[in-house]
Chains A and B, each alone.
Chain A
Amino acid sequence: EAEVAQSPRYKITEKSQAVAFWCDPISGHATLYWYRQILGQGPELLVQFQDESVVDDSQLPKDRFSAERLKGVDSTLKIQPAELGDSAMYLCASSPDRVNTEAFFGQGTRLTVV
């Protein structure tokens, strides 16, 4: 069964260090999402791609976060420098397109900043 792959599953990093997460969506899915889920809360959208273009990054803290999807397939989310408040689960999701279709989620990357 096709699934969204994310790596690493867990990451511990020190404050002010750089960290990167990788996501490989389901093959053929044009839309890719990065969500952040703080413990005890629902996920919140950070950035949305349609193919290689950013559709929505209004909630992405652009002073420290960046995201790319260069060939419209896999994607990387980077944080530099990491802060204690960035500790959270980072979830990647993909869908065939953004119009009324469900998103399929990966298992996420659990980030702990110490």
Chain B
Amino acid sequence: AQKVTQAQTEISVVEKEDVTLDCVYETRDTTYYLFWYKQPPSGELVFLIRRNSFDEQNEISGRYSWNFQKSTSSFNFTITASQVVDSAVYFCALSVGNTGKLIFGQGTTLQVKP
């Protein structure tokens, strides 16, 4: 069975602090994809990143960075120098094989205070 666990339900930081959102996944498939989505109060899910299971290279995009470690089945997301606009619910998701179906974690609510 496939599963995604986001153990942090809510995180609150002060603007400019760095924050890391944890994601642990479970699957027996060797081919899978990992995603992060952001859900602002308006409701739509905004795509942030996709990684495949064969590429463990970490990625940086501006203030965002992702650390993929197959050895610990984790795909953590770090926001550097957080801003108030980063406040949202963040979801980690897993897709196995070529199904396209996304299996989401429970989400982490990030609040960045000015």
- Residue positions of A touching B, CB distance < 8 A: 31, 33, 35, 40-45, 48, 55-56, 89, 91, 93, 95, 97-108, 110
Contact = CB atoms under 8 A, between A and B. Distances in A.
A48 B101 CA distance: 8
Given A42-B107, A100-B50, A107 B101 contact: no
Q: In the A-B complex, list the 4 residue pairs whose CB atoms are closest, starting with the nearest.
A: A98-B100, A42-B104, A105-B45, A107-B44
Contact of B107 (A41, A91, A105, A108): A41
Interface in B44-59: 44-47, 50, 52
A103 B100 contact: yes
B98 A42 contact: no
B11 to A, nearest CB: 15
A43 B43 CA distance: 11
A59 B36 CA distance: 23
B102 A103 contact: yes
A56 B99 contact: yes
B99 to A, nearest CB: 6
A99 B44 contact: no
A89 B46 CA distance: 15
Contact of A106 (B44, B47, B99): B44
B64 interface: no
Contacts of A45: 101-102
A105 B99 CA distance: 17
B78 interface: no
Contacts of A110: 43
A108 B37 CA distance: 15
B89 to A, nearest CB: 9
A104 B47 contact: yes
12 contacts: A40-B107, A42-B93, A95-B100, A98-B101, A100-B52, A100-B98, A102-B47, A102-B50, A103-B100, A105-B37, A105-B46, A108-B44
Contacts of A107: 42-44
Contacts of B101: 33, 45, 48, 56, 98
A25 to B, nearest CB: 13
